[in-house]
């Protein structure tokens, strides 16, 4: 009898330990643990959203960190609402260059280094969309390119004239969470 009581206590203790470990692991896997405060917010586009302060103003920026989202960018949108925009994240620094492919509205672009220094800012103008009789190659060939003045790791697009309104210019610095932005790369 004493042996079965001891065995029952051991089984009960093991079940408690297994239950605690399983509960702890499921809380971590689902983001339910108290320590998880970095849930990824999403824009209506499905892209992650990051809050970035530029010139003292907070902007909700969609994060374009893979080839499809960087290619699509803010194209086909009728406007870029105030307080919003997009940050393009690249794997390596390079002389970045943007164009207004399928863009319906003017917008600003700032090219930014890993350390957050703005190397140049351009106001890009919307161009006529591809005509039904125009080939894809002809359309791409006629679009103006807006190259950066130096290498950058990020590009930030905001509503047109926004950087000027904020008094932000080349040489200024924007605080960016490089580690977090890098984590979005795919």
CATH superfamily membership of 49-183: Protein of unknown function DUF192 (2.60.120.1140)
| Predicted local confidence at residue 37, as pLDDT | 56
Question: Which residues of the chain register pLDDT less than 50?
Answer: 1, 3-36
Q: What is the pLDDT of residue 39?
A: 83
Q: Going by C-beta distance under 8 Å and a sequence separation of 6 or more, which residues neighbour residue 3?
A: none
pLDDT in tens, 17-52: 334 333 333 333 333 334 445 688 999 999 999 999
Sign of CA dihedral 138, 143, 149, 154: negative
DSSP output for 139-159:
HHHHSPEEE-SS-EEEEEEES
Q: What is the pTM of this model?
A: 0.79
Q: Tokens 């470990």 correspond to what residue?
A: 21
Whole-number pLDDT of residue 36: 46
Sorted by where each begins, the domain ranges of the chain are 1-37, 49-183
CA distances from 138 to 135, 141, 147, 178 (A): 5, 5, 20, 37
Which pLDDT score, from 0 to 100, does residue 82 have? 95
């Amino acid at each position: 009898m004493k042996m079965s009581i001891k065995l029952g206590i051991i089984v009960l203790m093991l079940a408690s330990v297994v239950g605690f470990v399983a509960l702890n692991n499921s809380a971590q896997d689902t983001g339910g643990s108290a320590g998880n405060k970095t849930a990824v917010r999403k824009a209506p586009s499905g892209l992650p959203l990051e809050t970035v302060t530029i010139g003292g103003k907070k902007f909700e920026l969609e994060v374009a960190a893979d080839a499809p989202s960087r290619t699509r960018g803010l194209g086909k949108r009728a406007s870029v609402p105030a307080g919003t925009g997009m940050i393009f994240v690249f794997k390596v620094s390079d002389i970045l260059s943007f164009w207004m492919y399928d863009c319906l509205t003017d917008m600003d672009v700032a090219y930014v280094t890993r350390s957050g220094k703005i190397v140049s800012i351009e106001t890009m103008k919307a161009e006529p969309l591809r005509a039904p009789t125009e080939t894809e190659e002809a359309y791409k060939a006629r679009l103006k390119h807006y190259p950066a003045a130096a290498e950058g790791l990020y590009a930030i697009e905001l509503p047109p004239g926004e950087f000027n309104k904020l008094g932000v210019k080349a040489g200024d610095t924007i605080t960016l969470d490089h580690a977090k932005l890098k984590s979005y790369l795919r």
